[in-house]
Amino acid sequence: MTVRIYVGNLPEDVDKQELDALFREAQEIQSLKLITNRKTNKCRGFGFITVKTEAEADSLVSRFNGQTFREQALKVEKALPRTKDTKDTPEPEAPAVSEPVAKPVKATTPVERPTPRRDAPNRNSQRQQNRRKPPAQPTSVPVSASHSYEATEPDPRWADALRQLKERLSMQTTGS
């Protein structure tokens, strides 16, 4: 089993060969990766070393953690598992959880609001209804008297406005 070691507090101008020479003199390492800025190609201040066993990892950490390298104290410790899912690495181990964790739930159906009662209208709801304008009807579509709009389902995005319009029209025809 391989063990990854984090090496931090590296200078910007360090190169992989220099870091490799520093750690290779101590013991056999499998790989060394220096993390660089893609635009400037300079070190971002950290890298990773892979060794074969836990004992080798512990030895490297105890020997190099706090050691001065180019006038900076190195920070060397065992690396934490990755959180991003990448192709070249195995899945990180899931931490043991003592309690179940609830996941957020997305609403998949629209929430319907209750319609106001007609016998006790609210002033604010009446003002809002008066401000709302029903969606414009297409002017190029001919409307015949024999065509019934009740036979088809209205578009749910403006069904409420259509219902209110129908109520107003029925009130005007019964009231006049």
Tell me, what's the pLDDT at 95? 47
Q: Supply φ then ψ for residue 78, to 5 degrees.
A: -65, 135
Which pTM does this prediction carry?
0.47
pLDDT (tens, 9 = 90+) of the chain, 176 residues, equals: 789 999 999 999 998 888 888 887 777 788 899 999 999 999 999 999 999 999 988 988 998 899 898 889 999 999 988 776 555 544 445 444 455 555 565 556 666 666 666 655 556 656 666 666 666 665 555 555 555 555 567 677 788 888 888 898 888 887 65
The C-alpha atoms of residue 170 and residue 31 are separated, in whole angstroms, by: 80
Asked whether the beta carbons of 37 and 44 are under 8 A apart, the reply is yes
Radius of gyration of the chain (CA): 35
**Contacts for 74 with CB less than 8 Å, ≥ 6 apart:** 7, 8, 9, 10, 64, 65, 66, 67, 68
Terminal Cα distance for the chain, rounded: 88
- Domains of the chain plus CATH, in order, are 3-78 (3.30.70.330)
Beta bridge partners of 34: 47
CB 29 within 8 A of CB 10: no
Residue in 4, 49, 43 with CA at minimum distance from that of residue 22: 49
- C-alpha–C-alpha distance, residues 162 and 154, integer Å: 8
Q: Which residue has the tokens 């995005």?
A: 157
